Structure 1
Amino acid sequence: MTREQTRHSKAWYNTLSRYYDTLIDPFQGPLRRRGIDSLRVAPDDHVLAVGCGTGREIATLQNAVESRGRVVGIDVAEQMCHLAQDRLDEADAFAVICGDALALPFDSDRFDVVLVSFTLELFEADHRATVLEEIRRVLEPGGRICVISPSATASSIISPLYTRLNEAFPRLVDSRPFDVSAVLAEAGFEILQTQVEWALVVPVELVVARWES
């Protein structure tokens, strides 16, 4: 995702925000919750949700951390952030920030856990690597990441179809399925768990990995 694409993506998701929970979450929500379960978040973990959308995953993560923990969500679309903030309990331990995953506005070694749900596929390959580099930077050594994204390896039909649709309708079909496990391994993460699920007819990879500096 170039800076120009980021601008268009922000506009698109600002428009989509009011319909997102009705149209999209029924298909993505169960996989997000499964990913959160796989992360086994501890009560004192500091957790970052990249591409937090309307905040449903942050609300789920609230139940996994206690007073010693902290959950922060970041999204590029302002309207998504507003909806997410409205959903949260009024507490200092939970926050939503409007920002770009290409340059995460956090100190290094800040988080124990990072969730990237239906977000990394929005970036082109070189910018995807930059996002993962930023995530490595903000993760504590031994920190865990869960990436949930459409898979390019689980179906010989869906991925080429997505590619053609993305070329024809880049704003409407903005996902780029990829080999999630391979990309995380190439970025230096140790793969702990990989499973393939389905969102309607779309194969989705759910990968849990660990970062060791």
Structure 2
Amino acid sequence: MNELEVAKAKAAAAYNAAADYFDHPVSSFWHRFGRETVDRVDLRPGECVLDVCCGSGGSALPAAERVGPKGRVIAVDLAERLIALAASKAQSKGLDTIEFRVADMLALGYPDDAFDAVICVFGVFFVPDMTAAVRELWRMVRPGGRLAITTWGPNLFEPANGAFWSAIRQERPDLYRGFNPWDRISQPTGLREMLAEAGVSGADIVAEAGRHPLQSPDDWWAIAMGSGYRGTLAQLDPQTFSRVRETNLSLLRASGATSIETNVLYAVAAKEISPM
């Protein structure tokens, strides 16, 4: 497999594994940030929306509520188990205007200018070439439409993240990761530069600092189990898994942390309407 295929396979495997914890109450931030993204896009009734890397519906469900019965939302993700979660929630809410697809956001087959809004929340960094991914998403935005990219800011999930990778390095140094794929775009300057390389100019970028409460270190472990960390944990044998968990939580207890950082960048760009 080439680099892109390997990245897609890893992302799908990690989040299919994480599906059993993805909607755990302690991970409520997925839906909070998804709804906030939708608010910033200012969707209107009757609009057609594409939501890529949709997860379990954090942005797709509020988008469908906004566009109403005359609108349409197409929600796409590589992880079929997350798509199943999202579809179940949509059914329970009576949102029958969402079409769910297990598919690659780089090969959807939609024509140019197909959507009033294209949304990608915490997903663009899973593609090795983020610029190419944004260029493809931008292609599908109609003139006058909007593109929304939401990504992580600096120090994600600290101090729990650092404790996690310290525990991994202690047990399996071959799995240790010294950087995150979103590091390049975790500051407004880097995100703006990447968008410009993709042909997207004039984006409104907002950096929002935040913290997510932890009632106990066990809350953090549920977050790790329901997120991309699961891809690393899935590679551990049961004994190593137990040791990593205990080391991670012991380090977190020693820090006295009662919250983790959840800093976010929101970028919304409108595509100009060409003069007649």
Q: TM-score range by the shorter chain?
A: 0.7 to 0.9
Distance in 2, Cα, partners of 1:57 & 1:29: 7
Q: CA deviation at 1:145?
A: 1.0
Q: Is the 8 A contact 2:30 2:58 kept in 1?
A: no
1:176 maps to: 182
Is 132-141 or 89-98 further displaced after alignment? 89-98
Instruction: List runs of 5+ in structure 2 lacking aligned partners.
Output: 166-173, 212-259
The CA RMSD over aligned residues, in Å, is 2.7
User: 2:36 pairs with 34, 40, 45, which one?
Assistant: 34
* Aligned: 1:104 with 2:164: no
Q: Which amino acid is 1:84 matched to?
A: A
Q: Is the 8 A contact 1:117 1:149 kept in 2?
A: yes
Q: CA deviation at 1:186?
A: 2.4
1:67 maps to: 69
* Aligned: 1:193 with 2:193: no
Q: CA deviation at 1:52?
A: 0.4
1:93 maps to: 97
Q: CA deviation at 1:203?
A: 2.6
Distance in 2, Cα, partners of 1:24 & 1:77: 21
Structure with more of its chain in helix, by fraction: 2
Higher relative contact order (CA 8 A, sep 6+): 2
User: 1:3 pairs with 2, 5, 8, which one?
Assistant: 5
Q: Percent identity?
A: 25
Aligned residues: 201
Structure with more of its chain in strand, by fraction: 1
TM-score, normalised on structure 2? 0.65
Distance in 2, Cα, partners of 1:93 & 1:187: 30
Q: CA deviation at 1:97?
A: 0.5
Q: Is the 8 A contact 2:151 2:264 kept in 1?
A: yes
Instruction: List runs of 5+ in structure 1 lacking aligned partners.
Output: none
1:81 maps to: 83
2:45 maps to: 43
Ranges of 4+ aligned residues in structure 1 off by more than 6 Å: none
- The structure having more radius of gyration, on CA atoms, is 2
Q: CA deviation at 1:202?
A: 4.1
